[in-house]
Amino acid sequence: MAIGIGRRQFISALGGAAVAWPIAARAQQAAKLPTIGVLGTTTSATWSQWDAAFVQRLHELGWIEGRTVAIEYRWGEGHNERYREIASEFVRINVDIIVTTGSAVVATKQVTSTIPIVFAVADDPLGAGLVTSLARPEANVTGLSLQQTDVAGKRLELLREIVPGLRRLAIMGNAGNPGSVLQMKEAQTEARTLGVEVTMVEIRQADDIAPAFDTMKDRADALYVIADPLADSNRVRINSLALAARLPTMHGQRGNVEAGGLMSYGANFPDLFRRAAEFVDKILRGAKPADLPVEQPTKFDLVINLKTAKTLGLTVPGTVLARADDVIE
């Protein structure tokens, strides 16, 4: 009897080990996977399309999440103070590379000078001090320069085609974001060149948005919104208030038009995130960020929301619709 019990206990123990061993093995394997820390400056919902493009390109390059690479996601939700906290957490868990966007790169650089940092989007990486050279970054940081300021003139021209008699323009941007301030100045310069009167509207937190619209009352024919994590995280609120104020809006990203904005013109963000995955691939295979030149956008999109245009009583000229990459109806 004792032998029988011992045998059953042995078999039971062996069965338990057979069940437990693969779990332990998988955990050990997962621990050895190269790890990417994604520091999202806004929310997972805002980044969903961009993240999907990033992961898809990684997959095409042989990096499969959970099998050949691990990805840790953290979301700043438009709060600048969160970026340093998240970057510090990534350093503690020893990620192999950090992927983020321009507004969080400075905070991340302050936390680590050794972990490679790839920015999928940055307004002016040279002017903001993210890199010392576009051709040779010379540090642990590289990525893609958005250069939104270069398209300010194009946005204003498009806005004037849809808003007849545009004479007064409100420009809203996050005064706490150096990249946004740069874009605001560029848009202001371009507007004045076109003979358009400008009202600068500065915000620093979500609570500033509603009062900002009070300052625009009877002072603007349209609203030019500077894209940044604060504005993007509150895009529904901004567009709702703009519609209530009968203000056509120009944005820098498609997602803000999907959220009710009138139109956007700017770099194609999913394309930028796909290209960011290519930087990650090279670095995970041994390349140094300092040897990877900062790249520029190659794909720009014009997106128009006809439903919003109708609500505002605007007729979008056929010549503009013909140039649109996407029309939301």
pLDDT value of position 148 = 56
| Average pLDDT along the chain | 89
- pLDDT tops 50 at residue 175: yes
> Is residue 35 within a helix (H) or strand (E), and if so which, with residue range?
strand 35-40
CATH of 30-147+269-299, one of 3.30.360.10, 3.40.47.10, 3.40.50.2300, 3.40.50.1370: 3.40.50.2300
Identify the bridge partners of residue 266 per DSSP, sorted by sequence position. Answer: 301
pLDDT value of position 69 = 98
CA angle, residues 74, 105, 205, in degrees to nearest 5: 70
Taking the C-alpha atoms of residue 123 and residue 235, their distance in angstroms, rounded to an integer, is 19
Mean pLDDT in residue range 90-105 = 95
pTM, two decimal places? 0.82
pLDDT per residue as tens digits for the range 206-222: 999 999 999 998 999 99
Closest C-alpha among 226, 235, 182 to residue 43: 235
- pLDDT tops 80 at residue 260: yes
Mean pLDDT in residue range 107-118 = 96
pLDDT per residue as tens digits for the range 134-162: 999 989 999 999 865 568 999 999 999 99
Closest C-alpha among 241, 253, 228 to residue 305: 253
Taking the C-alpha atoms of residue 189 and residue 153, their distance in angstroms, rounded to an integer, is 9
pLDDT value of position 128 = 80
Burial class of residue 166 (count of CB atoms within 10 Å of its CB; 0-12, 13-18, 19+): buried
- pLDDT tops 80 at residue 7: no
Mean pLDDT in residue range 269-276 = 96
Mean pLDDT in residue range 97-120 = 95
Q: 264 is written with which tokens?
A: 């956007």
Q: Domain 149-267+301-328 - what CATH class?
A: alpha beta
> Is residue 162 within a helix (H) or strand (E), and if so which, with residue range?
helix 152-162
For the chain, the structural domain boundaries read 30-147+269-299, 149-267+301-328
pLDDT value of position 4 = 43
Question: Out of 121-130, 204-213, 241-250, 266-275, which region has the weakest mean confidence (pLDDT)?
Answer: 121-130
Mean pLDDT in residue range 193-203 = 96
